Amino acid sequence: MDLDTPAHEIAGMVSAGMVSAEEVIERTLERMRQTEHLNIFISTNPCAISEARRIDDMVRTGSDPGRLAGVPVSIKDNICTRTMPTTCASRMLEGYVSPYEATVVERLRREGAIIVGKTNLDEFAMGLTTEFSVYGPTLNPRNPRYVPGGSSGGSAASVAAGAAAISMGSDTGGSVRNPASFCGVAGFKPTYGMVSRYGLVSYANSIEQVGPLARTIPDLALAMRVIAGPDPRDGTTAGARPVSDTGDGMDGKRIGIVEQMAPDSLHRGVRAVFERAVSGLESLGAICEAVSLEMVDYSVAAYYTITSTEAGSNLARYDNIRYGYGLDREGYEFHRYVTASRDRFGPEVKRRIIAGGFVPSAGYTGRYFLKALKVKSRLAREVNRLFGTYDYLVSPTVPVPPFRLGEMLDDPVGLFQLDINTVTANLTGKPAVSVPCGTHDGLPVGVQLMADSFRDGPLLGAARALEGIVP
């Protein structure tokens, strides 16, 4: 066994007693130490070894250790864990330890997964390079001079570096798929309502989902089967359905190539990988043809308007009253105290909170927020119409290959445009997956497949087929 072994194989070997969970975790912790310079983890689990021994005891005594027995899993640091802090990579939550555990973490542990650590992210998941972290940027394991993507950059890097077999990220506008594409791993954004958000620190709660990252599509499917399903603590999961095991092949499937997501201006390296993937799908018998989603041109503006509005509200609770850091309250009137304590937010978070106070405010809401909601519903109508004809929609995950650290730091608006292919799935609630499909100049490029709501299982089947034809 080496550290690139897929999760389902690790679990099989541990359950069969062929390798001990303790050994798997020992070697994972060793890898975490070796890759410390990549700045992947914010904190590590001090109990990982003893938890692994407990799995081994279960194997020895013949009890079922679970579907993820001994599998090393990393968790994005905006998902609550009881034994490690949950910082959201923000000075605002420095040292904050949640008194409860997120539903996804509970479900992973129940199946024998070992949580090895909490991974780095853009502060409160706002960003797509993992550079907006108070703990410094995470480096891309494929080439440390490049960004790993974001905001789940630490999660993608941990999987790419062999420091975890599966990672839990969160995807608000591409935050799982973008770093998966940049780090050359697979990443999945489930249908809205498939996976419980209880314990995911909200950024834009009406469109985000917890989603897995892994090295292979079957591992994504395995993770989804463990974490998906209704949760009595999250009312939006009431309609969640089981994730079916396999797809039914690509033969005769109709796939729409979204014109607006692969325009003439598309980066040539990305285009080359994308076109190879499309011909690969055709060689499996799929019928691929160009389709148009006109609202995509407005989707990024709508996305930032909606997410800023929700972020401004979701982050209002960080007033340093019930928890937080030491700041003497003496002599402060409440509003001045809150203003002073919120100075701890980083620049990107501040930008979005300020925008979030403006776009839905009286006098401007018609011009911005309500218009964004209109784009959202028209986009959903367009996408639903396409899924009346097509089984899947395909596009590059990100219109550019990974870029260097610092390259986009001074261009927040330019950075926003990199979300253009991913935000549609969030605004419409549809499932989407990024499959590593090749490289440009040695840097990974991912291809995105999207399906209709609650067709998460078939979508993963299609992704599996695409994964199989990558050279």
Where in the sequence numbering do the catalytic residues fall? 76, 151, 175
Q: Does 292 bind another protein (CB under 8 A)?
A: no
Nearer to another protein, 74 or 98 (CB): 98
Nearer to another protein, 197 or 271 (CB): 197
Q: Of residues 60, 233, 367, 385, which one binds another protein by CB under 8 A?
A: 233
Whether 214 and 167 have beta carbons less than 8 Å apart is answered as yes
Size of the site for another protein (CB under 8 A): 44
Query: Under rule CB under 8 A, which residues in 355-374 are in contact with another protein?
Result: 357, 360-362, 365, 369
Q: How far apart are CA 422 and CA 397, in angstroms?
A: 7
Q: How far apart are CA 178 and CA 402, in angstroms?
A: 10
Q: How far apart are CA 340 and CA 342, in angstroms?
A: 6
User: Interacting stretch for another protein, rule CB under 8 A, among 63-71, 296-304, 312-320, 374-382?
Assistant: 312-320
16-22-24 Cα angle (round to 5): 75
Cross-sheet strand order for the sheet of 392-396:
41-44, 114-119, 72-76, 166-171, 209-214, 186-189, 432-440, 443-450, 392-396, 254-258, 287-291
Q: How far apart are CA 299 and CA 302, in angstroms?
A: 5
Q: Is 185 left (phi over 0), alpha (psi -120 to 50) or beta?
A: beta
Query: Under rule CB under 8 A, which residues in 390-419 are in contact with another protein?
Result: none
Q: Does 170 bind another protein (CB under 8 A)?
A: no
Residue 244 C-beta: closest distance to another protein, Å: 24
Q: How far apart are CA 185 and CA 403, in angstroms?
A: 17
The DSSP letter of residue 37 is G
Q: How far apart are CA 141 and CA 5, in angstroms?
A: 17
Whether 216 and 453 have beta carbons less than 8 Å apart is answered as no
Q: Does 322 bind another protein (CB under 8 A)?
A: yes
Nearer to another protein, 167 or 308 (CB): 308
Tokens in use for 230? 């209704």
Q: Of residues 10, 80, 220, 226, which one binds another protein by CB under 8 A?
A: 80
The values of phi and psi at residue 109, to 5°, are -65, -40
Q: Of residues 175, 178, 236, 453, which one binds another protein by CB under 8 A?
A: 236
Q: Does 375 bind another protein (CB under 8 A)?
A: no
Q: Does 325 bind another protein (CB under 8 A)?
A: no
Residue 312 C-beta: closest distance to another protein, Å: 7
Q: Does 206 bind another protein (CB under 8 A)?
A: yes
Q: Does 320 bind another protein (CB under 8 A)?
A: no
Nearer to another protein, 28 or 202 (CB): 202
Binding string to another protein for residues 92 to 121, with x set by CB under 8 A, is what? -x--x-xxx-x-------------------
Binding site for another protein (CB under 8 A): 79-80, 86, 88, 93, 96, 98-100, 102, 197-202, 205-207, 232-236, 238, 309-310, 312-313, 316-317, 319, 321-323, 334-335, 338, 357, 360-362, 365, 369
